[in-house]
Amino acid sequence: MKIKNRTATALASSALATVLVVGLGGFGLTSASASGTLKKGQTFYLIPKDTLNPYETLEDGGIAMALKSLGDKAIVSSGTADTAAAQIPSIQAAIQHHAAGIVIAGNDPSALCPSLAQARKAGLVIVSSDSDVTCPNHLFINQANTQQIGTSEVDLLAKEIGSSGQVAILSAAATATNQNSWIKYMKQQLKKYPKMKLVSTVYGNDDPATSLTVLQGLLSAYPNLRGIISPTTVGISTAAQYLDTHKSLLKHLTLTGLGLPSQMKKYVLDGTVKSFELWNPINLGQLAGYAVANLASGTIKIKAGQKFSAPALGKTYTILPAAAGTGPSVLLGPPFVFNKSNVAKFKF
């Protein structure tokens, strides 16, 4: 409990640190890098899953803050649907504008690789963040340990439903690398709960209307459903809103997943949702911003053991070695559990 409270304070105060860095940037001052040799005036393209998702906007805000504090420029560019095809024109635009690098949240693990290869050939550095790509020569900025996210989501639900009953997953796009890797570990963890049966996984494409449609389909196909895990901030907030107005469902149904405390606060405080998880997306963005600026400045290489400082986060981060299913990566930290006792403390 104490540890959780400390983490809550750390998460909240790092959001405060964010504001301070922006303030410094506004006065024309920049944060010092670990090596002190970062280039200034570089332009980076931020390519989120889509431009409509509030989570992605928070993360891009974090990237832009870090870049601005270093004297660099950020351009956010993407489509409105979570598909690789909608992101490719933004990669092309980054190449045409001679950007120094790209930070991308992949809507697909491999479909973006030919375009990203073109960008690398043109001299751009590639960082993926939030949702990885499987292409060579890029650095992945990971929000939290993939296995830990999948495992803890199942454990949270199991605790709330007495480890028994039909459960379902309401995910984002069917091709999203991040959700699919978490789901892989959810399925693995579900084996530890023989009385919990995964009956369906549905995909709302991180679009509120689609998420609602597939949720309603799920509820009518499985009237005895006991639990839903929605590992997407769009899915969980859509489902929470629906359950809030259909409270009789709460007699047998429990919802958890990954949500933004700002969007989920209402539903946690009124008892629709007991707990859910996330990390600080602004901090994730800042970490990605420092990483891409260092890579483009040549102060670090995409190599395990390389270190760079993230002044707004008050830490130096180290590139981790490639592991099964991922290339070299940097880890922000563990996921955090939000509930009635802490959900109102957070600004994101």
> 57: burial class by Cβ within 10 Å (0-12, 13-18, 19+)?
middle
Pairing of the two strands 125-129 and 101-104: parallel
CB atoms within 10 A of CB 140: 27
Residue placing its CB nearer to ligand RAM in the complex, 72 or 206: 206
Residue placing its CB nearer to ligand RAM in the complex, 300 or 343: 343
8 A C-beta contact, residue 231 and residue 257: yes
Provide, rounded to whole angstroms, the least separation between the CB of residue 329 and ligand RAM. Answer: 15
Pairing of the two strands 276-278 and 336-338: antiparallel
Provide, rounded to whole angstroms, the least separation between the CB of residue 130 and ligand RAM. Answer: 5
Residue placing its CB nearer to ligand RAM in the complex, 170 or 196: 170
CB atoms within 10 A of CB 310: 23
Residue placing its CB nearer to ligand RAM in the complex, 14 or 178: 178
* 3-state SS string for the chain: CHHHHHHHHHHHHHHHHHHHHHHHHHCCCCCCCCCCCCCCCCEEEEECCCCCCHHHHHHHHHHHHHHHHCCCEEEECCCCCCCHHHHHHHHHHHHHCCCCEEEECCCCCCCCHHHHHHHHHCCCEEEEECCCCCCCCCEEEECCCHHHHHHHHHHHHHHHHCCCEEEEEEECCCCCHHHHHHHHHHHHHHCCCCCEEEEEEEECCCCHHHHHHHHHHHHHHCCCCCEEEECCHHHHHHHHHHHHHCHHHHHCCEEEEECCHHHHHHHHHCCCCCCEEECCHHHHHHHHHHHHHHHHHCCCCCCCCCEEEEHHHCEEEECECCECCECCEEECCCCEEECCCCHHHCCC
Provide, rounded to whole angstroms, the least separation between the CB of residue 300 and ligand RAM. Answer: 25
Q: Which residue is nearest to ligand RAM (CB)?
A: 55
Provide, rounded to whole angstroms, the least separation between the CB of residue 280 and ligand RAM. Answer: 12
Residue placing its CB nearer to ligand RAM in the complex, 72 or 132: 132
Residue placing its CB nearer to ligand RAM in the complex, 264 or 300: 264
Residue placing its CB nearer to ligand RAM in the complex, 119 or 229: 229
Provide, rounded to whole angstroms, the least separation between the CB of residue 39 and ligand RAM. Answer: 29
Provide, rounded to whole angstroms, the least separation between the CB of residue 285 and ligand RAM. Answer: 12
Provide, rounded to whole angstroms, the least separation between the CB of residue 27 and ligand RAM. Answer: 33
Provide, rounded to whole angstroms, the least separation between the CB of residue 152 and ligand RAM. Answer: 13
Residue placing its CB nearer to ligand RAM in the complex, 86 or 117: 86
Residue placing its CB nearer to ligand RAM in the complex, 233 or 342: 233
Pairing of the two strands 307-310 and 315-318: antiparallel
Residue ranges that bind ligand RAM, judged by CB under 6 A: 49, 53, 55, 105, 130-131, 172, 178, 206, 232-234, 258
Provide, rounded to whole angstroms, the least separation between the CB of residue 281 and ligand RAM. Answer: 8
Provide, rounded to whole angstroms, the least separation between the CB of residue 178 and ligand RAM. Answer: 5
Query: In whole angstroms, how far apart are CA 245 and each of 88, 157, 206, 232, 272?
Result: 39, 21, 21, 20, 10
Residue placing its CB nearer to ligand RAM in the complex, 69 or 256: 256
